[in-house]
Structure 1
Amino acid sequence: MANERFFLEGFNFGEVQDAFNSTHKSSDSKEGERKQEKIRFDGADEEWGRSWNSDPLSSIMSPPLKTCLEEISKFRENENGIGDLLEPNKEKQLPLSLASFELLKKYGNGLKRLNDERQIEPNGDPPSPMVVKQELSTEEIMRIAGARFIHSSSADVHSNHPFDLSFSSLSGYETKNVELSELLLSAAEKVGNQQFDSASRLLDLCDFFSSNTGNPVQRLVYYFSGALRERINQETGRATSKGFGKEQSFNICEAIMAPSLSNMTFYKQNPFNQVSQFAGIQAIVENVTEAKRIHIIDLEIRSGLHWTIFMQALVSREAWPLELLKITAIGTTSKQLIEDTGKRLMSFAQTMNLPFSFNVVMVSDMLDLREDDFQLDDEETVAVFSEFYLARLIASPNRLDSLTKVIRNINPRVMVIIEVEANHNSPVFVDRFIETLFYLSAFFDCLDTCMERDDPNRMISESLYFGEGIRKILVAEGDERNIRNVKIDVWRACFARFDMVEAEMSISSTYQANIMAKKLACGKACTLNMDGKSLIIGWKGTPIHSLSVWKFA
């Protein structure tokens, strides 16, 4: 019963659909003019929705990872991820030094504006002492720490900096967070230079001042410090309680599939999955509008909650009664968990009197997947859904190519892809550290807004998923580094080889993403932007997820 409540509570596709219809019955969607446009939220900070056409370095709120890529490309080829995507075994090890921390310089370029905005602006009237200074976000703390770290490491420590790098403009709370972040950056730099004794001493301080139950900065430092210490152990051959070999029992994918209370709570409280899934499901709905027999192929079905949204949408379309909804889930492990998800979906479909079937295609290796495995019917309209799965195949490009060829041969009506919008695929450790740190700074800032700090479900999710993810990105190398997130431009380059054509995100999909975000308690800080034809879901302007729609030429 607890599982059924999980599916039934909190989602009403018809409610959002009605809101869209009543507002946009006669709207003219000039979609070709919406590239790089901002999708506005009522009451949202204007800077959070800033178009990415503007200079990304002009504001402290601007997305950081793009600036990282621009800086990396100055001294290393193919750092946008394409080279490593297609040839991941070419792990070119470059000298690690403070040169890698050139990435941080551009993070500090927008700090002058932050310093100005935190002062009382003259407007002809006497300044009011009642003006309240807004607390810095987690990402802003990291930006200041990065600027201070670069400044203190510079040969000319007396050089001017556009931002007041003293602590005079910061509160005591913010000062402590900046100092802790500086310790972490210093430790990472030492690890990158293989100065392990110095790094260990810095990590001792990080461990003392950080906590997995504290503020977002303390929580981030806690998990990053643990990963850095494990990398030291790996580099020096010291024994470690954790590892990436066959003995490691924890499986992130299996943990996510389990209908646990922590998974349910985490899903409901953070906006990114719900917004991206809701808009993605809408994109599929629009492409199967008149189909009587619909076949969904899900590359990694997880809990299956998103398909309850789809079922509600199908039930609400009275003009075209459905003969059958078939969902096929692909798996290489965890067959029982996938079948359990199918049973929950079957139960939900029965409550809605929806004709439904659920199939599981299990293969020992994705290279073994064939079109015949899907029992396709000529009368079916096929759609493919992939959420955070394709990035796992970047370390094995032959498997990624094989899967994409199978999908191309099936020739679905539409393929919807949700991925992490970040570059965690650099072959250089320090660069991966910086990009991951700033990405998760925004994510942990979101969690602190959406969930209580002492919420046990938050602590479990942070430990299992983010803690493990940080370890995989920073400690693992070679084939064991199976978390290799890349940005949408890399996926475009990859898919172009298979004649996949990016489709325009419809105005109804973006509108429903907007409505879904507003329904959530922390939705004001969730930002939606268009990158070409794809939707980017972010937090205060920092990209978190990408949602793209694809068809085959």
Structure 2
Amino acid sequence: MEGMNKGECGVDDWEEFGNGGIDCFSSDYVLPHKESSGGGCRFSKFEQLEQQKEPFLDHRSFEDRKFNVLDPLLPACPNQIAMLREIQEEIEDIVDPKKHNEHPFSSSSLDLLKDYTEGRRRLNIEPSKADLAGKKLSTEEIMRIAGAKFIQSCTRKADVGSMLNNPFDLCFSGLSDEETKNVELAETLLASAEKVGNQQYDRARKLLNQCDLLSSNNGNPVQRVVHYFSEALRKRIDRETGREASQGLESEVFDVDEAVMIPNPTIQACHEGIPFYQVPHFAGTQAIAENMAETKRIHLIDLKIRNGLQWTVLMQALASSRNECPLELLKITAVGTNSKKHIEDTGNRLKSFAQTINIPFSFKIVMVSDMLVLKEDLFELDADEELAIYSEYALKSLIGQPNQLDHLMQFFRSINPCIMVMIEVEANHNSRVFVHRFIETLFYFSAYFDCVDACMEHNDSDIRMVIESIYLGEGIRNIVASEGEERKIRNVKIDVWRKFFAQFGMVETDQSEASLYQANFVIKKFASGSSCTFDMDEKSLLIGWKGTPILSLSTWKFMPQE
């Protein structure tokens, strides 16, 4: 605590949103690309907070590592040529530009993929020379190269025979044998997704057969990513062709939000090993502590309390920094729609912790069938207490129920909190176009798998496999294989939330220097912390892995009503 002391129903029909007629939650709407006003800030921005040196520096996007797909390269071995023949048999229909009109998604999908391969959807991070020297490619970089190869295959005007006469296009200069094979595997996965998007299921299955042969859930990160995406594509094919497989259906009843509320070795390993779990907790609770520095009675409403670890952080901060303004009461009200027993267990753990550090503490539970029944009478609001809202991955679950989300925002406005802290996934996983959604999801999870591989390398491999197969795998399966009401995971980026909140008179507030200091302070505790990257999107803190956005932390308040 050293640092702390310092310091489809509904959603697919939303065509008319805001003033521009934009379906904002479909995430097909993307604001024009612009350089971040705050600049990239892997570490330099936050270290300047400690040292109080020169102003923040701007950095460019990570585009230094470019690969020329036309360079003459290493000779291809026979199995590589065989794979190329197989792949090209499956994508020859989109090699001819005249056939693009038969599949209207192809052109726009390739444009989106190009954005990723050219680094336009990355944080504004400039890598150091040390980062580039002698290091093997990350999982996301492999996907970028595979994307460039796939675009080349789809847009060149040569016929299949001329491609086979130039097998050098299979690899890139400087890649190891393993990296070359990983690029080929990822390219095959992209080709299979294109086939699924075009409803060419027989051809997609052939490509997926190749993916299955070359991937596994215990291989390298690229192989593991391909394994779970291949599994999800097969499940989608089975659903769309009416041949729903019985395997994997048990995942539909697995509730990730409920699972993370129960203390277990996997959750503990995630919290201790992966930076994304602690950084927003420290920075977010710092924002609450600052906004309530002179408040004697604090009331926090937690929309999805999970295991409550963030509140132990806040309690420690309050216990060590309230000498001039003693705390009379810290009250937490947890809102839940299910799993009351787990919420009660979380409350009991927080009560015990509060007693150990002499924090006056109260814990309440508000159980509701859905957010439409929320009203002030349920919350025991007192006039002499200051109110804050905490939403950690809570609002995204309501994107599919816009009436509930609207009601929740109106309720927030009626109780007028002094601050709302929001932590959400920073990714577009809600496009109504399947191939778009697949590409966005593939690059996001590629970075996440790369992070898990680096951060959990000293842990039991069984724990890593649980994280990937259940927690991450469930997300992949739901986003890729499901549609309509079955698709529960509908993440959108901060620019979409910003536009939505504006409809309710909410404005974004600045991240304080102390909150940014907390982010940097926490990240230094992790062995792989140098790979965790930060950037500012207007007033929101974006937290990423090697330049790929993973989540956002933002703070909000309501404009005074006229």
Kept after mapping to 2: 8 A contact 1:57/1:106:
no
Q: Determine if the alignment matches structure 1 residue 38 to structure 2 residue 43.
A: no
User: 1:415 & 1:523 partners in 2: Cα distance?
Assistant: 27
Q: Secondary structure at the match of 1:536?
A: strand
- Where does 1:335-414 land on structure 2 (aligned, <5 Å)? 335-414=340-419
- Aligned equivalent of 1:467, options 459, 470, 473: 473
The two structures have a TM-score, normalised by structure 2, of 0.79
- In structure 2, the partner of 1:108 is 117
Aligned residue-pair number: 470
Offset at residue 488 of structure 1 (A): 0.7
- Where does 1:444-459 land on structure 2 (aligned, <5 Å)? 444-452=449-457, 455-459=461-465
Offset at residue 535 of structure 1 (A): 0.6
User: 2:381 & 2:465 partners in 1: Cα distance?
Assistant: 43
- In structure 2, the partner of 1:310 is 314
After superposing the two structures, state which structure 1 stretch, 195-204 or 291-300, moved more.
195-204
User: 2:119 & 2:347 partners in 1: Cα distance?
Assistant: 49
Q: 1:140 to 1:360 in 2, by over 3 A?
A: same
- In structure 1, the partner of 2:151 is 150
Kept after mapping to 2: 8 A contact 1:190/1:198:
yes
User: 1:95 & 1:332 partners in 2: Cα distance?
Assistant: 41
Structure 1: any 5+ residue segments left out of the alignment? 1-12, 22-33, 45-50, 62-93, 112-116, 121-130
Q: Determine if the alignment matches structure 1 residue 267 to structure 2 residue 268.
A: no
- In structure 2, the partner of 1:280 is 284
The Cα offsets for residues 311-368 of structure 1, whole Å up to 9 and x where unpaired, read as 0011012211111111000011111111111011111111111111110000011111
Q: Determine if the alignment matches structure 1 residue 507 to structure 2 residue 513.
A: yes
Kept after mapping to 2: 8 A contact 1:98/1:189:
no
- Where does 1:531-550 land on structure 2 (aligned, <5 Å)? 531-550=537-556
Kindly report the root-mean-square deviation, in angstroms, between the aligned alpha carbons of the 2 structures. 2.8
Offset at residue 213 of structure 1 (A): 1.4
The Cα offsets for residues 182-239 of structure 1, whole Å up to 9 and x where unpaired, read as 1111111111111111111111111121111121101101110110000000000003
User: 1:511 & 1:258 partners in 2: Cα distance?
Assistant: 30
Q: 1:414 to 1:522 in 2, by over 3 A?
A: same
- In structure 2, the partner of 1:79 is none
- In structure 2, the partner of 1:523 is 529
Kept after mapping to 2: 8 A contact 1:266/1:458:
no
Q: Secondary structure at the match of 1:423?
A: coil
The alignment-based identity, stated in percent, is 58
Q: 1:412 to 1:108 in 2, by over 3 A?
A: closer
Kept after mapping to 1: 8 A contact 2:421/2:553:
yes
User: 1:43 & 1:415 partners in 2: Cα distance?
Assistant: 25
Offset at residue 43 of structure 1 (A): 12
Offset at residue 96 of structure 1 (A): 3.5
- One-letter identity of the residue aligned with 1:490: V
User: 1:232 & 1:308 partners in 2: Cα distance?
Assistant: 45
Q: Determine if the alignment matches structure 1 residue 17 to structure 2 residue 12.
A: no
User: 1:54 & 1:156 partners in 2: Cα distance?
Assistant: 37
- In structure 2, the partner of 1:7 is none
User: 1:547 & 1:110 partners in 2: Cα distance?
Assistant: 22
Q: Secondary structure at the match of 2:544?
A: strand
Kept after mapping to 1: 8 A contact 2:287/2:512:
yes
- In structure 2, the partner of 1:87 is none
Structure 2: any 5+ residue segments left out of the alignment? 8-35, 47-55, 67-102, 121-125
Q: Secondary structure at the match of 1:38?
A: coil
Q: Determine if the alignment matches structure 1 residue 249 to structure 2 residue 253.
A: yes
The Cα offsets for residues 406-447 of structure 1, whole Å up to 9 and x where unpaired, read as 111111111000001111110010000000001111111111
- In structure 2, the partner of 1:138 is 139
Offset at residue 99 of structure 1 (A): 4.5
Kept after mapping to 2: 8 A contact 1:59/1:110:
no
- In structure 2, the partner of 1:497 is 503
- One-letter identity of the residue aligned with 1:255: A
Offset at residue 164 of structure 1 (A): 7.7
- One-letter identity of the residue aligned with 2:40: K
Offset at residue 105 of structure 1 (A): 2.3
- In structure 1, the partner of 2:19 is none
The two structures have a TM-score, normalised by structure 1, of 0.80
User: 1:279 & 1:511 partners in 2: Cα distance?
Assistant: 8
- In structure 2, the partner of 1:290 is 294
- In structure 2, the partner of 1:204 is 209
User: 1:397 & 1:189 partners in 2: Cα distance?
Assistant: 30
- In structure 2, the partner of 1:442 is 447
Q: Secondary structure at the match of 1:183?
A: helix
Q: Determine if the alignment matches structure 1 residue 180 to structure 2 residue 188.
A: no
Offset at residue 250 of structure 1 (A): 1.2
- One-letter identity of the residue aligned with 2:471: Y
User: 2:558 & 2:247 partners in 1: Cα distance?
Assistant: 43
Q: 1:385 to 1:134 in 2, by over 3 A?
A: same
Q: Secondary structure at the match of 2:199?
A: coil
